[in-house]
Amino acid sequence: MSTGHPPDAVGPARVVSATRFEGWPAAVKAEFTSHAAPGPVGSRLLSEDRRVRVWSIHLQPGERLGAHRHALDYFWTALTAGHTCHFEFGPGDSLLHDLENIGDAPLAFVTVEFLRAGPYPFDPTHPVTTGGPP
């Protein structure tokens, strides 16, 4: 598994951020295993055309967006903080992660995936665990 860079970086996503999973709850380990294939990368698909797929993510304090895999170049913008991060992937690279709001205020993100030659297949019925829009 390869992951992205710190929030202010742009470039290939080739840095492994986690190698030891001891102490993780069994349910979270199982979720990461079951979401190993690409699927939805947000709470709600807002728009899709031949070039991009646009997702929203809204998390209340304590809410979590379940494990999901990114395999397409993309960027996210934290609407509540005004921060943006870009990710680029080489052949075979991907990022498997989850997202949890550990703060005390709601979080809102927009994620834009750049589609390659044709849409990247995903199952729109694939479950995403999150609180949904405000």
Q: What is the pTM of this model?
A: 0.67
**Reading across the β-sheet that carries 83-87, which strands appear in turn?**
44-48, 52-59, 107-114, 74-78, 83-87
For 58, phi and psi rounded to 5 degrees?
Answer: -130, 120
What CATH number did the domain enclosing 84 receive?
Answer: 2.60.120
pLDDT tens per residue, the chain (134 residues)?
233 333 333 444 444 455 566 777 788 777 777 766 667 788 899 999 889 999 999 999 999 888 888 888 999 999 988 899 999 888 878 888 888 899 999 999 999 999 875 444 555 554 444 444 44
Task: List pLDDT tens digits, range 38-76.
Answer: 677 888 999 998 899 999 999 999 998 888 888 889 999
Ranges assigned E (strand) in 1-134 = 44-48, 52-59, 64-70, 74-78, 83-87, 95-100, 107-114
Containing structural domain, residue 96: 1-134
Return the pLDDT at 109: 93
**Amino acid, single-letter form, for residue 13:** A
Of 134, 105, 107, 113, residue with least CA distance to 50: 113
How many domains is the chain partitioned into structurally?
1
